[in-house]
Amino acid sequence: MKYGIYLSPPRQSFASAYLMALAGGNLLGRLLWASLSDVIGRRNTFHAFAFGAAGLFLAMPHLIEGAIADPTSASAKLFLVGNDNWREG
């Protein structure tokens, strides 16, 4: 019988690796977007950010609904990625 997903607190090694991945992604994103901005222009880069964010915001209700409806779905696992201690009860 399914009672939900129980999480234990993340380990220190996971937390530090997670923060390092965030910092690395931030650096990589800044370099890539700056390079792309040089090629396509500042205005087009802003449009890419705006329309990309709008698409993500429009997709959020669907992703959240899917995560609530089926805790073992890919949507739910995206919220739990990196925590190797989650289990179904």
pTM of the entire structure?
Answer: 0.48
Round the average pLDDT of the chain to a whole number and report it: 78
Q: Give residue 35's pLDDT.
A: 92
List the single range of 10-14, 20-24, 45-49 with lowest mean pLDDT: 10-14
Is residue 22 predicted with pLDDT exceeding 80?
A: yes
CA dihedral 73, 79, 83, 85 (to 10 degrees): -50
- Which residue did the predictor score with more confidence, 17 or 86? 17
